[in-house]
């Protein structure tokens, strides 16, 4: 039987329990999830692409059904190269919907075979976003309820460096 793979793209700057929850739930639906960290020249992140990938790899080191990669350029080009046809995305608030709807439609325009599957965020993680985590961490707040330990440590190190 053909393995069903979904590509879960995002910034992951840094990965949060919201992302992790989505990936784990994605594995209930798909055989494999490729977590794809986007190299986006417009958005300068707190963490480098390699740091984001390394944090994700550490978290999913024992999960063989998850691959962590980075990609540059258009997501659809990455999908075409790998022969992937399914994008996984999370939906939090209504405010996510408009943006996601635009992107999903653009991706179909560029690559008609592609489909985007949305999973609703778990209620528990509804309010978690990478940007809020970064902001709280920047002012010394405790973010250990929102991100795993390796990210807590990485945030601390990164912010001390700055």
Site membership for ligand ADP, residue 121 (CB under 6 A)? yes
* Residue 125 CB, nearest approach to ligand ADP (Å): 4
Distance (Å, whole) CA 32 – CA 65: 5
Distance (Å, whole) CA 55 – CA 50: 9
Closest to ligand ADP by CB, 5 or 16? 16
Distance (Å, whole) CA 78 – CA 146: 30
Distance (Å, whole) CA 35 – CA 46: 19
* Residue 1 CB, nearest approach to ligand ADP (Å): 28
Closest to ligand ADP by CB, 2 or 15? 15
Would residue 70 show up in a list of annotated catalytic residues for this protein? Answer: no
Closest to ligand ADP by CB, 42 or 160? 42
Closest to ligand ADP by CB, 1 or 69? 69
Would residue 43 show up in a list of annotated catalytic residues for this protein? Answer: yes
Site membership for ligand ADP, residue 24 (CB under 6 A)? no
Would residue 129 show up in a list of annotated catalytic residues for this protein? Answer: no
Q: How crowded is the C-beta side of 36, counted as CA atoms within 13 Å?
A: 25
Please, are residues 8 and 89 in contact by the beta-carbon 8 Å criterion?
Answer: yes
Site membership for ligand ADP, residue 78 (CB under 6 A)? no
As a residue count, the chain comes to 162
CA 51 to each of CA 5, 18, 45, 151: distance values in angstroms, whole numbers, following the listed order: 24, 19, 11, 10
Which among 11, 52, 89, 130 is annotated as catalytic? 130
Would residue 130 show up in a list of annotated catalytic residues for this protein? Answer: yes
- Which residues are marked as active site? 19, 43, 92, 130
Contacts to ligand ADP by CB under 6 A: 10-12, 16, 18-19, 22, 89-90, 92, 96, 121, 125, 128-130
């Amino acid at each position: 039987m053909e393995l069903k793979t979904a590509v879960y793209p995002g910034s992951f700057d840094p990965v949060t329990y919201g992302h992790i929850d989505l990936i784990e739930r994605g594995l209930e639906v798909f055989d494999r999830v490729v977590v794809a960290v986007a190299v986006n020249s417009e958005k300068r992140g707190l963490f480098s692409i390699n740091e984001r990938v390394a944090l994700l790899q550490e978290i999913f080191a024992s999960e063989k059904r998850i691959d962590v990669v980075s990609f540059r350029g258009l997501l659809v080009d990455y999908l075409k190269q790998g022969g992937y046809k399914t994008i996984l995305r999370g939906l939090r608030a209504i405010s996510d919907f408009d943006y996601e709807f635009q992107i999903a439609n653009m991706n179909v325009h560029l690559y008609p075979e592609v489909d985007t599957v949305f999973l609703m965020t778990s209620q528990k993680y509804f309010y978690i976003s990478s940007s809020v985590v970064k902001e709280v961490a920047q002012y010394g707040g405790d973010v250990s309820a929102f991100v795993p330990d390796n990210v807590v440590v990485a945030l601390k190190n990164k912010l001390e460096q700055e």
